């Protein structure tokens, strides 16, 4: 697979991080967490794409994490922290959600997602324009 395809996933991850930061500032924490989860998912897809792995449409963050760890076990600590983000793809999106997340949770999960995106980015070669 081309590095450009992997960087497309990374660009999307960065866009989701940016959206999450704006939503945190606007006190829209459920939506911010949704974007943190997506940023993490896209970062893992970037890593898998770079390594020529096929991405299935319905893979969860856990599935993607396991596939990435099969390629590079040294990602374990950053991937393990991001696994908690799986629930944010759906947890607060339901009108019957039990509670609204707060700023502390949003900030914590943003830091987790950002760390994963930056670590994956660090492991991919830079594109030469």
Q: Where are the alpha helices (DSSP H) in the chain?
A: 3-25, 29-50, 61-71, 76-82, 103-123
Q: What distances in angstroms separate CA 41 from CA 9, 27, 51, 75, 100, one per listed residue?
A: 9, 23, 16, 14, 22
pLDDT in tens, 65-109: 999 999 999 999 998 878 777 665 555 555 565 667 788 989 999
Please give the residue that has the higher pLDDT: either 26 or 81: 26
Q: In the chain, pLDDT over 70 holds for what percent of residues?
A: 85
Q: What is the pLDDT of residue 129?
A: 47
pLDDT in tens, 35-61: 999 999 999 999 999 999 988 888 888
Mean pLDDT of the chain: 87
Please give the residue that has the higher pLDDT: either 5 or 3: 5
Q: 3-123 has which fold?
A: 1.20.120
CA 55 to chain centre: 15
Least confident of 1-10, 24-33, 88-97: 88-97
């Amino acid at each position: 697979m081309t590095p450009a395809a992997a960087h497309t996933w990374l660009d999307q991850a960065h866009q989701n991080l940016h959206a999450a930061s704006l939503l945190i500032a606007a006190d829209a924490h459920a939506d911010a967490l949704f974007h943190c989860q997506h940023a993490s998912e896209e970062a893992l897809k970037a890593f898998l794409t770079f390594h020529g792995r096929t991405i299935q449409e319905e893979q969860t963050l856990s599935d993607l994490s396991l596939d990435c760890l099969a390629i590079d076990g040294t990602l374990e600590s950053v991937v393990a922290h991001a696994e908690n983000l799986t629930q944010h793809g759906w947890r607060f999106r339901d009108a019957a959600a039990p509670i609204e997340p707060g700023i502390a949770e949003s900030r914590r999960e943003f830091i987790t997602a950002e760390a994963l995106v930056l670590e994956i980015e660090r492991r991919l070669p830079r594109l030469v324009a």
